[in-house]
Amino acid sequence: MTDTPTAPARQRRGGLLGFLRDLVVILLIAFLISFLLKTFLVRSFYIPSGSMEHTLEVNDRVLVNQLVPKIVPVQRGDIVVFRDPGGWLGPSVAQPAPSQFEQLLQTIGLAADTSNDYVIKRVIGLPGDRVVCCDAQGRVSVNGVSITEPYVLIPEGQTAASGITFDVTVPKGKLWMMGDNRYNSADSRFHMNEPGKGFLPEEDVVGRAFLLNWPLNRFTWLSDYQEVFAKVPAPSALSDSR
């Protein structure tokens, strides 16, 4: 005669299988949520260069709000990630190709994007803005108002906010981008003699970096320093006053 499994034995087997089934469902849901967040809302990026020091250091990871600029408009002072419009990335930022496992984690949003297609800088000029450097105190001015930028890294022996002088008016649909490490940042200033004249198309913006989430000892919210630009008039207001 074949013994019939006792109730406790059936419960143990059912409990283990049930646990494993629930675990798989939870993991699938977590991966789906992560993928949807990465696709539509939040994405993680790796910082490959020192152009944003000391706000962002090499090997930092940041979270990016992808609602900017599609739904939420870009503002002066925002740190944004954007696709390389062509020639902004040099060979020095090339990274080793990620493994297939790392690529999978990047696809579902569980790892920072380490591809060589993206740049991160700070927005200094919006469409219509006139951005000039430098005034008598070595500051950048936007629409005639000089700004004091506490985030800028200026090397010893220098005083100006930029080692390159410029006077530009940002065209419609474009942005003027600058790195915080002004003397070591191949930003809009370095591309003024190219066809795009250094202006970044807004459509190339992936999103605004809002959180430095790795390493943990540098975990912090990223400021857009709106107080720096608080007195800068809008281009329309500037035009109306002339």
C-alpha distances (whole Å) from 219 to each of 60, 79, 88, 212 are 10, 16, 28, 5
> Among positive and negative, which fits the CA dihedral 221, 57, 214, 76?
positive
Tell me the one-letter amino acid at 44: S
Residue 199 has pLDDT above 70, yes or no: yes
Give the predicted TM-score (pTM) of the model. 0.77
User: Tens digit of pLDDT for each residue in 88-111?
Assistant: 886 544 455 555 545 554 554 545
- Mean pLDDT, all residues of the chain: 83
Q: Please tell me the distance from the alpha carbon of residue 166 to that of residue 133, in angstroms, as a whole number.
A: 5
CATH 3.40.50.1820 given to domain 42-240: no
Residue 35 has pLDDT above 70, yes or no: no
User: Tens digit of pLDDT for each residue in 101-152?
Assistant: 455 545 545 455 566 789 999 999 999 999 999 999 999 999 999 999 999 9
More confident residue, 5 or 22: 22
121 carries an active-site annotation? yes
Residue boundaries of the structural domains of the chain: 42-240
Classify 42 as helix, strand or coil: strand
Check residue 96 and give its pLDDT. 54
The residue-averaged pLDDT of 145-163 equals 96
**Cβ–Cβ under 8 Å, residues 43 and 64:** yes
188 carries an active-site annotation? no
Say which of 44, 121, 162, 188 is annotated catalytic: 121
More confident residue, 145 or 3: 145
Check residue 37 and give its pLDDT. 56
Say which of 44, 49, 51, 185 is annotated catalytic: 51
